Amino acid sequence: MAEKLPKGYRAAGVYTGVKRNPTKKDLSLFISDRPAIAVGVYTQNLVVAAPVKLCQSRTPAKSILAVVANSGVANACTGEQGDKDALFMAAKTAQTCGVDPEQVLVMSTGVIGEMLPMDKISAGIDEAFPLLNTDEQSLVDAARGILTTDTVHKIKTREFEIDGVQICITGVAKGAAMIGPNLATMLALILTDANISADDADAGLKDAADESFNCISVDGHTSTNDTVLLLANGSAGGPQLSGPALAKFQATLVEVCEDLAQSIPADGEGASHLITVEVHGCQTRRDAVKIAKTVADSTLVKTAIAGNDPNWGRIVSAAGYAGIEFDPAKVSLLVNGMLLYDQGQPVKFDEAAVSESMRSQRDTGIVLLMDGGEASARFWTTDLTAEYVRLNADYHT
């Protein structure tokens, strides 16, 4: 399916000079032609960047008209001047686009502790405004403008029809792969032309983020800037979604978020495996997520998988220190579909075959069966290679 902007949105991406490489984009503008519902999900880190504080104070909102985003400098740990710069970035966008400052949201990603070069940002907004367009290339340019060390831009579009109304959801994201100068920031902006209430949008985005962006991890860091925004402008027409129509919207929103979320570790530079950790049989989904995340964040598990080593002991042991109660004698483990650990006991298995299955494909599947309930979770991460360390150690602030 081609990637496209939903109805009533325009986008542009430009190069302002914040990034060093002039072949890149580093400022993006997204405009809705009519006031949009806007809701957000933000970093849980106590140290919160200025643009995140701005968005937190303005969402949920009912009449957002623009989102401006920059990459290269995160405007994090920048004190009061940083707050002023984020406000100015919104005000400048509002002035250029002819809207109220309060109708603008702001996202930033990049180096932390550096001040935004406001002259470049201002010039970029001026440059982007006349380029705003509904075509695919403008969407791609805008998707590129939020990237930092990502190797590919990330756009997902899903369309569906409800009672004769064609609805589109398109998301763009930047990755959490902590390579280079950035702080593993994950940004995503989901645009839809659906007609939904602010409450449904708010609850829907939280649920979707919980099943997607909150289930990925590259190195366990929660950034100062992590932000997921959802705008819904109703341009698709039709009545406000409810009942089965709302459920269909929600299911599609989850799909878009999952696709975007998975694309983040999949683009992890220096990684040789994309790892999916599934945990089944917990009492609550929260428990399952905690176990899955603990396994996914284990340095020992990640290095073992980098070495194509089916080291079940590291996986079972990581589950054991997740802080969730379970019966170790009931736990079973499969790697790439092969049973390695059965009801608390190691199984004789063909080590060479498991190792070869890991070596021959980029995806590694870990399935833990806890046999203590009905709840499940999935978590996505990457392995930990010597190349990852080299990339992270060799960058100097």
Q: Which of the residues are catalytic? A: 185
Q: Could you identify the residue written with the tokens 């959490």?
A: 176
* Closest distance of CB 318 from a copy of itself, Å: 7
Q: Which residues contact 228 (CB under 8 A, 6 or more apart)?
A: 40, 41, 42, 186, 187, 188, 189, 190, 205, 209, 213, 257
- Which of 59, 157, 212, 223: binder of a copy of itself (CB under 8 A)? 223
Residue 317 touching a copy of itself (CB under 8 A): yes
Are 74 and 174 contacting, i.e. CB atoms less than 8 angstroms apart? no
Residue 268 touching a copy of itself (CB under 8 A): no
- Which of 60, 117, 238, 313: binder of a copy of itself (CB under 8 A)? 313
Residue 47 touching a copy of itself (CB under 8 A): yes
Which span (1-9, 149-157, 255-263, 387-395) binds a copy of itself, by CB under 8 A? Answer: 387-395
Give 333-392 as a DSSP string.
EEETTEEEEETTEE----HHHHHHHHHT-SEEEEEEE--S-SEEEEEEEE---HHHHHHH
- Which of 30, 213, 249, 312: binder of a copy of itself (CB under 8 A)? 312
- Which of 310, 335, 364, 365: binder of a copy of itself (CB under 8 A)? 310
Residue 388 touching a copy of itself (CB under 8 A): yes
* Closest distance of CB 332 from a copy of itself, Å: 12
Q: Could you identify the residue written with the tokens 């401006």?
A: 68
Judge whether 224 is annotated as a binding position: no
Q: Which residues contact 257 (CB under 8 A, 6 or more apart)?
A: 171, 188, 190, 208, 209, 211, 212, 213, 228
Residue 131 touching a copy of itself (CB under 8 A): no
Residue 303 touching a copy of itself (CB under 8 A): yes
Q: Rounded to 5 degrees, what are φ and ψ at 215? A: -120, 25
Which span (94-102, 195-203, 243-251, 338-346) binds a copy of itself, by CB under 8 A? Answer: 338-346
**Which C-beta is closer to a copy of itself: that of 8 or that of 82?**
82
* CA separation for the pair 201, 217 (Å, rounded): 25
For the record, the structure tokens of 20 come out as 């060093």
Q: Which residues contact 326 (CB under 8 A, 6 or more apart)?
A: 282, 291, 319, 370, 372
- Which of 189, 304, 367, 377: binder of a copy of itself (CB under 8 A)? 304
* CA separation for the pair 257, 266 (Å, rounded): 14
Are 157 and 169 contacting, i.e. CB atoms less than 8 angstroms apart? yes
| Binding string, residues 279-298; x marks residues near a copy of itself by CB under 8 A | ------------------xx
Residue 311 touching a copy of itself (CB under 8 A): yes
Are 305 and 273 contacting, i.e. CB atoms less than 8 angstroms apart? yes
Residue 325 touching a copy of itself (CB under 8 A): yes
Residue 319 touching a copy of itself (CB under 8 A): yes
* Closest distance of CB 197 from a copy of itself, Å: 32
Residue 116 touching a copy of itself (CB under 8 A): no
Q: Report cis status (omega within 30 of 0) of the bond before 265.
A: no
* CA separation for the pair 200, 184 (Å, rounded): 29
Q: Could you identify the residue written with the tokens 């649920």?
A: 207
Residue positions in the annotated binding site for substrate?
148, 174, 185, 269, 392, 397
> Which residues in this chain contact a copy of itself in the complex, by CB under 8 A?
44-48, 76-79, 111-114, 178, 183-184, 219-224, 297-300, 303-304, 306-314, 316-321, 325-326, 328-329, 331, 341, 344-346, 351, 355, 384-390, 392-397
